Amino acid sequence: MHLRAGQRLRRNADFGAVRERGRRLDCGAFLLTWAPRPGAVPSAPARVGVVASRASVGNAVHRNRAKRRLRAIFRKHQALVPPGLDLVLTARAALLRMEFAEVEQRFTAACLKLAPKPA
């Protein structure tokens, strides 16, 4: 099952906005950056963008495997992500050395910390 278009970050500007004004959480195998989507209705589904650079992850095979893993984990646990957030998951080389269940556990633990900042 693929992510719907409304569940993905597509434009460079969206990625840049999340990185610029978002908060970061280091999960070891990946970096989770999130920010509330401006102008979104509170019930809008969360959107995700996945990044894997050649410098940090490796060749194309490794980058694609890392991105597939992160997208699969997001699909499985997207109910844990508060609505109206934009997430950027940045893969690291450790992601491919860890068991899938361990990465999954780190993602679910990180999702519990995604409560919006009090106004």
Strand spans (E) along 1-119: 23-26, 30-36, 47-51, 85-91
C-alpha 54/C-alpha 84 separation (Å) is 30
Residue 107 CB coordination number (10 Å): 22
Instruction: For 66-84, write each residue's pLDDT tens digit.
Output: 999 999 999 999 889 888 8
C-alpha 35/C-alpha 91 separation (Å) is 18
pLDDT band with cut points at 50, 70 and 90 for residue 103? very high
Domain boundary assignment for the chain: 5-111
Q: Is 15 exposed, middle or buried (0-12, 13-18, 19+ CB in 10 A)?
A: middle
pLDDT above 80: residue 6: no
The CA-based angle 17-11-77, given to 5 degrees, is 80
Q: pTM for the complete prediction? A: 0.88
C-alpha 29/C-alpha 94 separation (Å) is 5
pLDDT above 90: residue 1: no
* Secondary-structure class of domain 5-111 per CATH: alpha beta
Lookup result for tokens 């959107």: 47
